[in-house]
Amino acid sequence: MAYEIYRFTWRGIEIEARYNPHHYDVIAHLEIETLSPEKEPLPITGTGYRSHFHPRGVIELHDAENRGDTLIQHVIDWLDAEAAKPAWKTFVQERQQLELF
């Protein structure tokens, strides 16, 4: 099966999510990559790229009402949860301080 491709913006960063719900027999594959700025770090990856395998059907269980928006919302929720952690907050603060000089 081919990958489904989704593009969205999170906190000013353009992101592409590629999803194959049937990568292996019981495993789904999700790839997340920053497009603009290219290779921009995210709370889930310092390189702007993340490959994530998970059991098939995890995301689809929540798709009945959203009709396809669940994957994007899943990734946004993941990014928001990780962005709330002290390590990401420190990263953002240090990066902003460097931009002042």
Mean pLDDT check: name the lowest of 15-29, 30-44, 67-81: 67-81
**pTM for this predicted structure:** 0.85
Is the pLDDT at 68 greater than 60? The verdict is no
Kindly tell me the number of DSSP H helices and DSSP E strands found in the chain: 2, 4
Over range 19-29, report the average pLDDT.
88
Which of 45, 77, 42, 43 minimizes the C-alpha distance to 59? 77
Q: Cβ of 14: how many Cβ atoms within 10 Å?
A: 15
